[in-house]
Amino acid sequence: MKGWSGRSGLAKVDLYTRGTVHLIVWVGVLGLTLLLMARPVREDGQLVLVLAASLLAIAQGVLCGRLARHAMDAYLGQGQVPRSLVPWAAAVTAATTSAVVVLAATVDLTGLLPTMLAAALTPFLTVHCLLVRNRTTALIQLVVLVVVCAMVWLTGRTADQALFAGVTVGFVNGWMAFTARASMWMLAVMWELREARDVQARLAVAEERLRFGRDLHDVMGRNLAVIALKSELAVQLARRGRPEAVDQMAEVQIIAQDSQREVRDVVRGYREADLSVELEGARGVLAAAGITCTVRSGDAELPAGIQSALGWVVREATTNVLRHGDARRCTISLRTADDTVVLVVENDGAAEAAAGTPGSGLAGLRERLSAVDGTLEAGPARGGRFRLTASVPLGQRTGQDMEEAV
């Protein structure tokens, strides 16, 4: 189970919100239990009735705790509430409230009764508001207020005391229900924003694939059609013993070479990555994801081939930070030492990601770096961090040779 520091921002909000709802439930249960141990109740109340009310309160906490977990999942669209759980929680809440009222009829609880009734009703009403609409919640709160006033009045209290108890119960439970509902609404909005961001990322990838496929189709479609026609014509001429077949095949060879060159141009345009642009892009993308990104880069002029290779390292490393683990901070540093360019990308929150098997992205980066005599090292570091280090020597090849290799 992850600790607080190892969770993402959304996971922290989710845990805090769920914990708040469960805390409200158990504060009501513990508050009622402590009030049942107060001196007036302990000295003047019947032991059996006090003990029964305490056990009912604990049972109410267990049932409402389970109901809270299922209700929050259902509110977020991540599960359903068992049908029998709501009636059982409601029945135990009604029994607990009735026990408090019966106890108030035998013991003078003038100062404690409103608080005890509010504590008895808070666990169920706080959770139940997540299962129904706001109008239904308001109607239930109004009905509870009226019923509480009537029950308190039947215990022999005055109308003013009954009204005060009803208003106290209505205010406390109404405020708790509003708090739970508002907190879960904000959490639901954050989950929707997270899903929208994931959908946007998938759409961007799909759009890039369509663009690349469209470019290849435009480049290769016409040339392949011409090659097919000229090859067929060359076959027919060869069968007839015509010398023009050689000319046709020579043209096919030229067209194939031109097509190969055009495909390389398309792929080069797709694969080229500018290092400075990638560094700024990584900073912006990680900041948009709530990750603090620090970039330290020198002013050294690097050959185009090395810049392209390291630009792809930055792009792939940024993707890994977003997809794996729950990073909060990321540091990208670029330095030149002993005629070697060293790029280091390090992020936290990667305990689980570091333990996984290496993906094809790192293998592709090693291939790109090997074209410029570079090396790549990636693995876990201290403190649950993940470090990726790319090293490329300078002066091994000319800039033109490295550009062609990449």
pLDDT in tens, 176-211: 999 999 999 999 998 888 888 778 777 777 777 777
Question: Taking 70 as the threshold, does the pLDDT of residue 149 lie above it?
Answer: yes
Q: Is 159 exposed, middle or buried (0-12, 13-18, 19+ CB in 10 A)?
A: exposed
CB pairs under 8 A, 24+ apart, for 47-51? 49/99, 49/102, 49/103, 49/106, 50/103
State the residue for tokens 């709160």.
141
By C-alpha distance, which of 151, 176, 161, 163 is closest to 21? 176
pLDDT band at 19 (very low <50, low <70, confident <90, very high): very high
Mean pLDDT, range 35-47, rounded to an integer: 77
| Contact indicator for 63, 88 with CB cutoff of 8 Å | yes
pLDDT band at 398 (very low <50, low <70, confident <90, very high): very low
Tokens of 227: 């090659």
How many Å is the maximal CA-CA distance in the chain?
122
Task: Name the CATH code of domain 204-271 (choices 3.90.320, 1.10.8, 1.25.40, 1.20.5).
Answer: 1.20.5
N-term to C-term CA, the chain:
43
Mean model confidence pLDDT for the chain: 82
Tokens of 393: 């020597």
pLDDT band at 318 (very low <50, low <70, confident <90, very high): confident
Question: Taking 60 as the threshold, does the pLDDT of residue 354 lie above it?
Answer: no
Task: Measure the CA–CA gap between 195 and 201, rounded to whole angstroms.
Answer: 10
By C-alpha distance, which of 74, 123, 73, 130 is closest to 97? 123
Strand bridging mode 385-393 / 340-347: antiparallel
Q: Same topology for domains 204-271 and 275-405, yes or no?
A: no
Mean pLDDT, range 253-259, rounded to an integer: 84
Domain boundaries, the chain: 9-196, 204-271, 275-405
Task: For residue 97, give the H/E element and its range.
Answer: helix 85-106
Q: What Å distances lie between residue 158 and 105, 151, 337, CA to CA?
A: 13, 11, 87
- In this predicted model, which residue has the larger pLDDT, 339 or 355? 339
- Convert the pLDDT of each residue in 49-95 to its tens digit: 888 888 999 999 999 999 999 999 999 888 899 989 999 999 999 99
Looking at mean pLDDT, say which of 83-87, 219-223, 307-311 comes out highest: 83-87
pLDDT band at 379 (very low <50, low <70, confident <90, very high): confident
DSSP classification of residue 298: -
Q: Is 390 exposed, middle or buried (0-12, 13-18, 19+ CB in 10 A)?
A: buried
Task: Measure the CA–CA gap between 10 and 23, rounded to whole angstroms.
Answer: 20
pLDDT band at 45 (very low <50, low <70, confident <90, very high): low
pLDDT band at 255 (very low <50, low <70, confident <90, very high): confident
pLDDT score of 404? 45
By C-alpha distance, which of 238, 245, 305 is closest to 275? 305
Task: Name the CATH code of domain 275-405 (choices 3.40.47.10, 3.60.20.40, 3.40.309.10, 3.30.565.10).
Answer: 3.30.565.10
pLDDT score of 111? 76
Task: Measure the CA–CA gap between 128 and 67, rounded to whole angstroms.
Answer: 8
pLDDT band at 401 (very low <50, low <70, confident <90, very high): very low
- Convert the pLDDT of each residue in 88-138 to its tens digit: 999 999 999 998 888 888 877 767 888 899 999 999 999 999 999 989 999
pLDDT score of 23? 93
pLDDT score of 355? 43
pTM confidence score: 0.57
Mean pLDDT, range 226-234, rounded to an integer: 83
Task: For residue 1, give the H/E element and its range.
Answer: none
How would you list the strands of the sheet with 292-297, edge to edge? 292-297, 329-337, 340-347, 385-393, 375-381
Residues facing residue 386 across a β-bridge? 347, 380
pLDDT score of 306? 87
Question: Taking 50 as the threshold, does the pLDDT of residue 403 lie above it?
Answer: no
Amino acid at 193: L
Tokens of 367: 């291939």
